[in-house]
Amino acid sequence: MTGLQGGAVIAALALGLVLSFRASNVINIAHAAVGMYSAYAFYGLRNYDVDSTERGGDLWLPILGAPSKVHILDRPTVAAALSIALLLAAFFGALLYVAVFRPLRNAPPLARVIASLGIFLYLTSTMSLRAKEIGSGAASLKLTSMLPSGVIKIGSAKIPTSAFVLSGFAVVAALLLALAFSYTRFGLATTATAEQEKGAILTGISPHRIGIFNWVLASLLGAGAVILIVGVSGVLVPTETSLLVVPALAAALLGGLDSFAVTTAAGLAIGMTQGSLVWFQLQSKSLPDWLPNNGLSQAVPVIAILVAITWRGSKLPNRAAMIESRLPESPTPRNPVAWSLVMATAAIVALLQLDAQWRLAIVVSTIAGFVGLASVVVTGYVGQISLAQYAFAGVAAFATVKLTKQGLSFPVAPFLAIAITIAIGLLLGLPAVRVRGMTLAVATIAAAVAIEQLVFNSPSLAGLGAIPRPEIFGIDLGFSATGDENFRAAFGIFAVILFVLATLAVANLRRSPTGLRWLAVRGNERAAAAAGIDVTQTKLSAFAVCAALAGTGGALLAYQSPALSAQQFMVVGALAVLALCFLGGIASISGALVAGLLASGGILTQLQGGNTGNASNYQFAISGLMLIAVAILYPDGVVAAVRHSVAKLRRMSTA
């Protein structure tokens, strides 16, 4: 895949993001995921060899509980398969708008982010299940390109014809959109709806229809782009393909989520930069060899964009933008000490009594709980929607292993690793100083991807293997052992005690002046500044605490896993944790507990009968659905809803 091809796809996806943002003020993180599904639909239908007797024509369905595929017609032509795939994409676009984002148009930004995360999780997990059924290697779908395969020579450069076709597709789409938006009644009406729904009603077109139209258009563009590029690149992997949305988000943000022309140009530029970076990295002998193969090309554009949006933001929102950014209520923790004791006792008794699989599940839940606590602090208490928590955990985990390999021992290595993580946390907190809401969510996703690409995939971190067992006061805290003794309780007890201490610390912070400042900043940055609160410092302190918590989880993981891999710290994990916290109440410690319990491979998985390989996909898919439902039904969070109904019952019983 050349830079120009990649750029064209990024541009086309970014155009869809701009469209749906204009229509309903939502940055749809699941945009490329819909395209990914359409690609499965298309290539599933076309999955037959023309020279054989294969029938093809199977439509894969992303519906949990329904059959994974239905046969609809024998040997469909490209046109037939494409029409079906695009029809489905259009249907999804309309469905997402009508069922999810229209009801959420006035909901807090967090609810909108959560809903789009829910869709992302649902589609990627159900399609991962399907991908396993399809199989890999020779069994996988035939991904053949529909585009002409020749090359065009310009000077000494050979550029594939398909690159021109693809970028032509993006540029023409941008042009048509720009024209439509400035000259047709529909375009003008969309602009009017974005400003105010009444504006659109005045133009005589129902805002509902405008929304559906824009979302269908966005979906079609995205599906078309993904189907085409998958053919060219020959790669279709649910999560990876859905994460094409990251560079597209970057392009859309550079276009201010408004300009079609700038967005397209930015998309093409990002793609070509990536292309030339790949080339540069291949050619250059002077680059350090710890640099992962595609690291520069994946990370550099993302970092550039981070810097650009950060630089363009402002430290305080202006007077006009002082809209309420409601977040779920944050109840003051009551009796944290008593709760912690109960929790610790239960976990320790379980660790001592139950079998190895249970001990593993408890440890997995505990570590996920740390990441959950990190989310509660930074997103729940301070209102900064961050999706970099797993990146923090990963930094700490890899640093612990690396430092141990350098000769540092327990507990010096993990301490130092957590300190490094805090420094990274402060660095990643910088965008939060200047951008807010959904834009910040996107910025943190970008940062997490950058870390993943540059650090976690680094050859110098690959295959580091296990590290010496931790030991304190002569007590062996190692996790592994042979036979039934494996997954030793000692390590579990150590992790649980750390978690309980962390929970207490978070409860303390929430009640202390630091916590009050956090909530003040989350509620109203201008008023906080006027009250003498250093908003920058307050946000950074939260990012530091967040990094320390996630980092502790990561350091534990370093001792728990026999070998670390980049997969353990992918941004998708952070999406899931944030989502689970939201279910349990993002602004209270209960959120972290729920995130821990429901973590894949954790206590709930064990209750359902243990890890069967597909469990995490099922779990993510179901949490995805739950999230969408919760975001729509209780945009202020489940806990608030429960509290309100309890209050209502009380009032009814006293009346």
> Would you tell me which residues interact with another protein (CB under 8 A)?
314-316, 319, 322, 329-330, 505-506, 508-509, 511-517, 519-520, 522-524, 526-535, 537, 541, 544-545
Least Å distance between CB 318 and ligand ATP? 5
- Out of ligand ATP, another protein, none, which partner does residue 330 contact, by CB within 5 to 8 A per kind? another protein
Give CA–CA dist 353/349, Å, rounded: 6
Which residue has tokens 């962390």? 502
Least Å distance between CB 450 and ligand ATP? 34
Least Å distance between CB 426 and another protein? 12
> Residue 75 or 526: which CB sits closer to ligand ATP?
526
- Out of another protein, ligand ATP, none, which partner does residue 524 contact, by CB within 5 to 8 A per kind? another protein
Torsion of CA 290, 291, 294, 297, to 10 degrees: 180
Give the torsion sign (CA, 187, 193, 194, 199).
positive
- Closest to 594 measured CA to CA, from 628, 545, 560, 639: 639
Least Å distance between CB 548 and another protein? 10
> Residue 332 or 345: which CB sits closer to another protein?
332
Give CA–CA dist 123/111, Å, rounded: 18
- Closest to 247 measured CA to CA, from 62, 440, 13, 49: 13
> Residue 318 or 406: which CB sits closer to ligand ATP?
318
Least Å distance between CB 510 and another protein? 8
> Residue 258 or 329: which CB sits closer to another protein?
329
> Residue 3 or 328: which CB sits closer to another protein?
328
Least Å distance between CB 319 and ligand ATP? 5
Contacts with ligand ATP: how many residues (CB under 6 A)? 3
Of residues 289-318, which lie at the interface with ligand ATP (CB under 6 A)?
Answer: 318
Q: Which of 63, 79, 156, 319 binds ligand ATP (CB under 6 A)?
A: 319
> Residue 184 or 314: which CB sits closer to ligand ATP?
314
Site string for ligand ATP, 187-216 (x = CB under 6 A): ------------------------------
Task: Decide if 555 contacts 417 (C-beta within 8 A).
Answer: yes
Least Å distance between CB 540 and another protein? 10
> Residue 69 or 436: which CB sits closer to ligand ATP?
436
Least Å distance between CB 195 and ligand ATP? 16
- Out of another protein, ligand ATP, none, which partner does residue 297 contact, by CB within 5 to 8 A per kind? none
- Out of ligand ATP, another protein, none, which partner does residue 320 contact, by CB within 5 to 8 A per kind? ligand ATP
SS3 labels along 575-634: HHHHHHHHHHCCCCHHHHHHHHHHCCCCHHHHHCCCCCCCHHHHHHHHHHHHHHHHHHHC
List of residues 6+ apart from 449 with CB closer than 8 A: 243, 246, 298, 299, 302, 571
With 0-12 CB in 10 A as exposed, 13-18 as middle and 19+ as buried, what is 39? buried
> Residue 74 or 534: which CB sits closer to another protein?
534
> Residue 331 or 478: which CB sits closer to another protein?
331
Give CA–CA dist 638/582, Å, rounded: 8
- Out of ligand ATP, another protein, none, which partner does residue 68 contact, by CB within 5 to 8 A per kind? none
Give CA–CA dist 477/417, Å, rounded: 18
| Structure tokens given for 18 | 């701009």
- Closest to 553 measured CA to CA, from 387, 388, 367: 367
Least Å distance between CB 623 and ligand ATP? 42
Q: Which of 320, 323, 652, 655 binds ligand ATP (CB under 6 A)?
A: 320
CB atoms within 10 A of CB 180: 16
Least Å distance between CB 320 and ligand ATP? 5
Q: Is 323 in the site for ligand ATP (CB under 6 A)?
A: no
Least Å distance between CB 536 and another protein? 8
Following DSSP, what letter does each residue of 429-463 receive, concatenated? HHHHHH--HHHHHHHHHHHHHHHIIIIIT-GGGTT
Give CA–CA dist 274/269, Å, rounded: 8
> Residue 98 or 529: which CB sits closer to another protein?
529
> Residue 319 or 651: which CB sits closer to ligand ATP?
319
With 0-12 CB in 10 A as exposed, 13-18 as middle and 19+ as buried, what is 567? exposed
Give CA–CA dist 37/124, Å, rounded: 8
List of residues 6+ apart from 259 with CB closer than 8 A: 18
Binding footprint of ligand ATP on the chain (CB under 6 A): 318-320
